[in-house]
Amino acid sequence: MNQLDSMQIFVRVAELSSFTAAAESLGLPKATVSLAVQQLENLLGTRLLHRTTRSVQMTQDGRAVFERSKDLLADFAELQLLFRKEPSAVSGRLRVDMPIAIARDLVIPNLSAFLRQHPALELELSSTDRRVDLVREGFDCVLRVGALLDSSLIARPLGQYHMINCASPAYIAEYGLPASLADLSHHHLVHYLTNFGGREPGFEYLDPDTPGSMRHVPMGGVLTVNNSEAYTAACLAGLGIVQSPEPGMRSYLANGQLVELLPAYRPAPMPVSLVYANRRHLPQRVQVFMSWISSLLQPRLLDAAKL
């Protein structure tokens, strides 16, 4: 039995937590399934499964091999379909990460149509505002908003988010509408930090008298949050001023739940990029997904050439 067959059998046993169920689903004798897993363990030099009379559970090494095996099998299946153009040629597991708001407001509402186009694709969608470790956590690609720090990764710039300053009518009723930067000394900022313990510089703005120059006005605030949903909720609750991408605030501005402040002193546009590991041949499933999400985002973004 070749190594790919052994890998496929091991993955099926791990998925079903049963040699018997795996054998039935693959149409193989149970002894063949058991032998295939044993051969793979001998080849790798580690135990992949804990076997008892009642259950089969992956070891820690087995879980790592399971994740890598699924990717390798998907890559091999894609290789076999490399020159076919039909939608079914896009197959395998795809693991992606993106900010919470983009997943909730844009990607998930449009996802069913994308998956209908590619029914053999298995999507694992992570939505978090923290910076995931793309390589260590096994992501195929990540959508990032903001400056990029990972020089070893490949980035595809998509455009920029237009940024605005917002507050709720209730907040303005209590503290007034700031008409100048000097007025901010009497106001509160909702602070945003991905990791607590740092210090936010304050109210950020592009200096209208010096194009491209970023300035800061130190501001106090009673609340610091670490994700975009809490940030928007705090603004809606009247807890302070926020500086946020305009697309996420558009509906709140339209229905009067939020008001834009100091339009002459907006923050610099925030870059939006797709990031992926440096691979010589990017799998077709990743290329297809990146093209799809890029087309979804384009109406919300400023021109990528302005980056």
pLDDT at 148 over 70: yes
pLDDT band at 52 (very low <50, low <70, confident <90, very high): confident
Where residue 175 sits, what CATH number does that domain have? 3.40.190.10
Residue range 193-216: mean pLDDT, rounded: 82
Q: Is there a single domain that holds both residue 75 and residue 12?
A: yes
pLDDT at 299 over 70: yes
Residues 6+ apart with CB under 8 A from 261: 165, 166, 167, 177, 178, 241
pLDDT at 305 over 60: no
Residue range 260-270: mean pLDDT, rounded: 93
Number of domains in the chain: 3
pLDDT band at 307 (very low <50, low <70, confident <90, very high): very low
pLDDT at 280 over 70: no
Helix locations, 98-245, DSSP H: 100-102, 108-117, 169-175, 228-236
Query: Given this model, what pLDDT does residue 195 score?
Result: 74
Mean pLDDT score across all residues of the chain: 86
Query: Given this model, what pLDDT does residue 249 score?
Result: 92
Q: Is there a single domain that holds both residue 116 and residue 183?
A: no
pLDDT at 198 over 80: no
Q: Is there a single domain that holds both residue 257 and residue 176?
A: yes
Q: Is there a single domain that holds both residue 169 and residue 263?
A: yes
Residue range 118-136: mean pLDDT, rounded: 85
Report the range out of 72-76, 109-113, 200-204 with the highest average pLDDT. 109-113
Where residue 22 sits, what CATH number does that domain have? 1.10.10.10
Q: Is there a single domain that holds both residue 289 and residue 249?
A: no
Q: Is there a single domain that holds both residue 29 and residue 148?
A: no
Query: Given this model, what pLDDT does residue 217 score?
Result: 93
- Tens digits of residue pLDDT in 211-255: 778 899 999 888 999 888 999 999 999 999 999 999 889 999 999
- Does residue 241 contact residue 261 with C-beta atoms inside 8 Å? yes
CA distance 79 to 256: 52
Choosing from 80, 114, 136, the residue where a domain stops is 80
Query: Given this model, what pLDDT does residue 213 score?
Result: 84
- Does residue 134 contact residue 286 with C-beta atoms inside 8 Å? no
Q: Is there a single domain that holds both residue 257 and residue 167?
A: yes
pLDDT band at 93 (very low <50, low <70, confident <90, very high): confident
Residues 6+ apart with CB under 8 A from 122: 92, 93, 94
The values of phi and psi at residue 21, to 5°, are -65, -40
Q: Is there a single domain that holds both residue 262 and residue 280?
A: no
Query: Given this model, what pLDDT does residue 252 score?
Result: 95
Q: Is there a single domain that holds both residue 149 and residue 207?
A: no
Choosing from 80, 113, 138, the residue where a domain stops is 80
Query: Given this model, what pLDDT does residue 304 score?
Result: 43
Q: Is there a single domain that holds both residue 135 and residue 58?
A: no
The residue written with tokens 């501005």 in the block is 253
Q: Is there a single domain that holds both residue 55 and residue 142?
A: no
Residue range 73-82: mean pLDDT, rounded: 68
pLDDT at 281 over 50: yes
Tokens standing for 253?
């501005």
- Tens digits of residue pLDDT in 156-197: 999 999 999 999 999 999 999 999 999 999 999 999 987 776
- CA-based R_g, the chain, Å: 25
Q: Is there a single domain that holds both residue 53 and residue 199?
A: no
Range of the structural domain that residue 208 is part of = 163-268
Q: Is 288 helix (H, G, I), strand (E, B) or coil?
A: helix
The residue written with tokens 């558009």 in the block is 250
Choosing from 26, 58, 80, the residue where a domain stops is 80
CA distance 39 to 42: 5
- Tens digits of residue pLDDT in 21-50: 888 878 889 899 999 999 988 988 999 898
